[in-house]
Amino acid sequence: MAKRISVSRKMTKIFRKWEGILFFILLAFVLEGISRVEIVSSLYFPPISKDISTFLNLTVSGILPLETLKTFTRMACGYVLAALIMIPLGIFMGISNKVYNVFEPIVELLRPLPPPAIIPAVMLFLGIGNSMKVFVIFFACSFPIILNTIDGSRSVYPTFLHTARSFGLNRYQIIRRVILPAATPQIMSGLRTSLPISLIVAILSEMIGSIDGIGHYILRMQRTFNIPEMYAGIMMLGLVGYFLNKIFLWIDKTLIAWHKGWRISGI
């Protein structure tokens, strides 16, 4: 009797573990059925199986990965540029009131502007080439990064700073050894916020003015009525977003592993 209970418990456990995937597969079957029996026109909504096979075909033939790579390169350039400029600036704004007062009004002035709104103006100066996209991505990513960095470097425990000063560390050492590590978790959260933003803005700028990239590809496929190809492109985007987030979480975990232990130890 006891054994049977434990077996059924095991079954429930396994079921619980896989129910998310089960639901996902079930949903795919329902969508397949909807399209097969033409509840929704299969012209607009091809069966999932067809989308997936198109997706695989396009992936193997290298069309989708190539377009995605172009988008990704632009995105990475803008993102890294924003991180390289905004993290140091944010730290200086966080530790020096003078620097903060100089730049704060500009940041506050530009912050409420939705990043896509600057695309038309940037297009005038930089055309529709890569530099326009990189600049717009840079602009969009800057705000979450700089605001979080300022916050992070301002909220360093005063005790830490006093201790560092008592031990005779100079300004540079304090920044490197105390402020930077203490602000890292918050800097990372800013970087994490701006990651999906960079992807969205990259795709948008490709939809508005571009000749390649995954955003342009999806829109072109829709306009030329290659609907399965369009869905395949969208699936690819979902995957890219998903894995970007996963990779980032992994980096985050390895970079600030010490922080979790530090928090648990109760300081």
Q: Judged by CB under 8 A, which stretch of 55-63, 114-122, 147-155, 162-170 contacts other proteins? A: 114-122
Handedness of CA 112, 114, 89, 126 (dihedral sign): negative
CB of 43 to other proteins, least distance (A): 9
60-99 mask for other proteins (x: CB under 8 A)? -------------------------------------xx-
Name the residue nearer to other proteins (CB basis): 30 or 60.
30
**Residue 191, Cβ density class (10 Å: 0-12 exposed, 13-18 middle, ≥19 buried):** buried
CB of 207 to other proteins, least distance (A): 5
HSE value, Cβ hemisphere, 13 Å, CA-based, for 188: 19
Determine the residue type at 263.
R
Name the H helices within the chain: 2-36, 48-60, 63-95, 97-110, 119-126, 130-154, 158-166, 171-174, 180-208, 214-223, 227-255, 257-264
CB of 99 within 8 A of CB of 93? Answer: yes
Closest-CA residue to 184 (of 99, 77, 262): 262
CA distance 213 to 207: 9
In order of 16, 22, 48, 200, the CA distances from 7 in angstroms are 14, 21, 36, 47
CB of 70 to other proteins, least distance (A): 16
Name the residue nearer to other proteins (CB basis): 38 or 104.
104
Q: Does 7 bind other proteins (CB under 8 A)?
A: no
Q: Considering only residues 182 through 241, tell me which ones interact with other proteins, judged by CB under 8 A.
A: 196, 199-200, 203-204, 207-208, 215, 218-219, 221-222, 227, 230-231, 233-234, 237-238, 241
Among 154, 245, 252, 259, binds other proteins (CB under 8 A): 245
Q: Judged by CB under 8 A, which stretch of 18-26, 83-91, 148-156, 183-191 contacts other proteins? A: 18-26
The single residue listed with the structure tokens 């944010």 is 90
19-58 mask for other proteins (x: CB under 8 A)? xxx-xx--x----------------xx-------------
Closest-CA residue to 219 (of 199, 61, 229): 229
Chain contacts with other proteins (rule: CB under 8 A): 16, 19-21, 23-24, 27, 44-45, 97-98, 101-106, 109-110, 112-121, 123-125, 196, 199-200, 203-204, 207-208, 215, 218-219, 221-222, 227, 230-231, 233-234, 237-238, 241-242, 244-245
